[in-house]
Structure 1
Amino acid sequence: MNGLPEVAGVTTGAGLPLAGAADSCLRIASIPQRGRVTTGGFVEYVRFSAAGDAPEFAASIVDSPAGPGGRRTPPPRMLVVWHGQRRVPGIDQGVWVRVVGAVSQEKGITTMYDPNYEILASKTELQDRLTTNRQVKSHLSGKATR
């Protein structure tokens, strides 16, 4: 896809591979300054507009969540903005998404306005996978857990 590097080996916060994340998604750091792209990542935070302002919902997306010790350097981020929306169904902090749309640079920040999106994994799905993997590992090692 345009000779740019694609996402490879994207994992959840626990190092589990995330199904569907590498399907023609570009890493945020390799997104061109302008153009239509397919990318995705972990929703780090969401931002709502004030009650008196025009409706706008924004989400900050990074390639992967911070590990247990945090980060030493800030990761590349992309801001995704939906105009005319107070909430976007399924978009919340801690979910994995794929977004498709036109990107531009706004005040030095890669920004995508009103994209099409797909939820790849919700918070509860990620927690269920972690719990299941922990139970399987403890069973194989002979240690019982709750």
Structure 2
Amino acid sequence: MSITRERRPGRLRRLLGRLATDQDELDNSELRESSQGLGHRTIAELADREVATVSGTIRNTTLSPLGQVPALRAELYDGTQRLQLIWLGRRSIAGIHPGTYLRARGRVCTKDGIKTIYNPFYDILPNRGR
């Protein structure tokens, strides 16, 4: 009877695996780890109508009117899912642009199938939570 034991991949194999991994997957993984490192739940875990704190990178911003009121929209991505941040009555916010890493807090709702926070409290973070 032979005893087999499960072997963990060595350093070289892990390094080669990491190099072979798609850059987007690495970015997503880094965003998830940064969010969890700050103690935040991922966007994918959020339930409708709960107050939550999330962090991630702004992917894009748009200015669109909601009725007669201007609304600045930003798509936040944390490596799991996107979340729409909407500031009513704002045309721009200094520092909020694609590539900005930030923490946002507010009540989550689902609008057109997309998790959304209206008028969130936010902090622009200098880097991914490190």
Q: Give the TM-score normalised by the residue count of structure 1.
A: 0.59
- Alignment correspondent of 2:113: 108
Q: Deviations over 1:67-101 (max 9, x none)?
A: xxxxxxxx511000000000012111001110010
TM-fit CA distance, 1:23: 2.0
Which of the two has greater helix per residue?
2
Contact 2:31 2:56 in 1 (8 A): no
Alignment coverage as a number of residue pairs: 101
- Alignment correspondent of 2:56: 41
Instruction: Return the alpha-carbon distance in structure 1 between the equivalents of residues 43 and 61 of structure 2.
Output: 17
Instruction: Return the alpha-carbon distance in structure 1 between the equivalents of residues 32 and 90 of structure 2.
Output: 28
Instruction: Return the alpha-carbon distance in structure 2 between the equivalents of residues 30 and 97 of structure 1.
Output: 18
Match of 1:24 among 32, 39, 50: 39
Larger Rg: 2
Contact 2:108 2:115 in 1 (8 A): yes
- Alignment correspondent of 1:8: none
- Alignment correspondent of 1:60: 75
Q: Give the TM-score normalised by the residue count of structure 2.
A: 0.66
Runs of 5+ consecutive residues of structure 1 not aligned to the other structure: 1-11, 65-74, 127-146
User: Using a 3 Å threshold, how does the CA distance of structure 1 residues 62 and 54 change in structure 2: closer, same or farther?
Assistant: same
Q: Deviations over 1:95-143 (max 9, x none)?
A: 111001011011111000001001113xxx79xxxxxxxxxxxxxxxxx
Q: Write the letter of the residue equivalent to 1:107.
A: D
Contact 2:95 2:124 in 1 (8 A): yes
* RMSD of aligned Cα (Å): 2.9
Paired-residue identity, %:
28
Which of the two has greater strand per residue?
2
